[in-house]
Amino acid sequence: MNDPMNKPTTQARLARVAKGKRPQYFSDPATDKLLSMTMTLMEELSVTRERLDALERLLASKQVVARNELEGWTADAEANAERAAARAAYVERMMRAMHAELDEITRRGSPQTDIDPLDAVGS
């Protein structure tokens, strides 16, 4: 990116994971977790819709693919594998708050059973 004087400028890099204590908005921490997951989902869906719209418009304007052709397309094995990897990363991002709390609980001490940490996160 350049400024008006044609001098190169650097862009600030933002941390991907927030540091510090997470703010609590509701009396029940589970509600805050659900809100966080919902907001992450909204962000992901909004970006996806905008990119999809841009791609469809670009392809249609260049007469590469008509918008209605997308409905009949089926993915091959490579596309399915890439989609599975992307889906797994997406689920990981969606569950980040739950995983962070589960890690915190298990760091404090080994649970009695496999169910204990899940129960603690859900409460």
| 122, pLDDT greater than 60 | no
Residue 1 inside a domain? The answer is: no
What's the pLDDT tens digit per position in 5-63?
A: 665 566 776 656 667 777 788 888 888 888 988 898 899 899 999 999 999 899 989 99
pLDDT at 76: 94
Residue 3 inside a domain? The answer is: no
Residue 17 inside a domain? The answer is: no
CA pseudo-torsion sign 54, 60, 66, 68? positive
Could you tell me the pLDDT band of residue 119, with boundaries at 50, 70 and 90?
A: low
What's the pLDDT tens digit per position in 80-115?
A: 999 999 999 988 887 887 788 788 888 887 555 555
For the chain, how many structural domains are there in total?
Answer: 1
Residue 74 inside a domain? The answer is: yes
Residue 8 inside a domain? The answer is: no
Tell me the residue range of the domain where 104 lies: 29-122
